[in-house]
């Protein structure tokens, strides 16, 4: 495999929980083979990543440095990093018309329940964020363990879509 990392963009509606978690975890476990980014289709004005997302990531030893909520428009510009794979992690973003991505990356949908919608105590909410992080990490562990030939453009899309069927 060449030295260039596989660029992966995780999309969600607000870019405050699931996509932020996926970006941080993949950058943590990607071993330099992957470079992760995240964005939202419609982050709210002054949107910030959810504090519970940051709390579970930090507790797991995953860096939150540089993470912030941003629009997916940032990745459609000519000077943006070229993505190899774009993964939606919430059903709302999966159903939206995505912008044109330079380079026509592979795409997949990995749906996860929104942990920020859980009602209950703070501990119950934190537990929902922990479960979501572990579900995301399980798929990402499989992605990073793939041999180089499964990460080539022609097979990357099918491989990522197959991983969506993981329980």
| pLDDT band of 150, cuts 50, 70, 90 | confident
Nearest residue to 87 (alpha-carbon basis) of 5, 7, 167, 27? 7
Q: How far apart are CA 62 and CA 129, in angstroms?
A: 14
Contact 108, 102 (CB under 8 A): no
What is the pTM (predicted TM-score) of this model?
0.89
All structural domains of the chain, each given as residue ranges with its CATH number in brackets, are 6-154 (3.40.50.2300)
pLDDT (average), residues 82-108: 76
Task: Give per-residue pLDDT as tens, 25-44.
Answer: 999 999 899 999 999 988 87
Going by C-alpha positions, the residue among 142, 148, 147 that lies closest to residue 160 is 142
Q: How far is CA 74 from CA 45, 47, 153, 156, 162, in A?
A: 15, 15, 23, 23, 28
The confidence band for 167, taking pLDDT boundaries of 50, 70 and 90, is low
For residues 130 and 133, give the distance between their C-alpha atoms in angstroms, rounded to a whole number. Answer: 5
Give DSSP secondary structure letters for 80-141.
Answer: SPPPSEEEE-SHHHHTS-PPPPTT--EEEE-----GGG--S-HHHHHHHHHHHHHHHHHHHH
- pLDDT (tens digit per residue) in 130-142: 999 999 999 999 9
Catalytic residues: 12, 90, 98
């Amino acid at each position: 495999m060449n030295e260039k990392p596989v660029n992966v963009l995780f999309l969600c509606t607000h870019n405050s929980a699931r996509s932020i978690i996926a970006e941080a975890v993949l950058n943590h476990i990607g071993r330099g083979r992957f470079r992760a980014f995240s964005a939202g289709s419609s982050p709210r004005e002054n949107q910030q990543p959810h504090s519970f997302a940051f709390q579970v990531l930090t507790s797991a030893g995953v860096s939150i440095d540089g993470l912030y909520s941003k629009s997916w428009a940032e990745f459609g510009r000519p000077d943006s990093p070229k993505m190899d794979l774009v993964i939606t992690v919430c059903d709302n973003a999966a159903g939206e018309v995505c912008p044109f991505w330079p380079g026509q990356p592979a795409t997949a949908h990995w749906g996860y329940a929104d942990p920020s919608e859980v009602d209950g105590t703070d501990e119950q909410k934190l537990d929902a964020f922990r479960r979501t992080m572990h579900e995301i990490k399980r798929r990402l562990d499989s992605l990073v363990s793939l041999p180089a030939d499964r990460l080539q453009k022609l097979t990357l899309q099918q491989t990522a879509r197959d991983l969506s069927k993981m329980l």
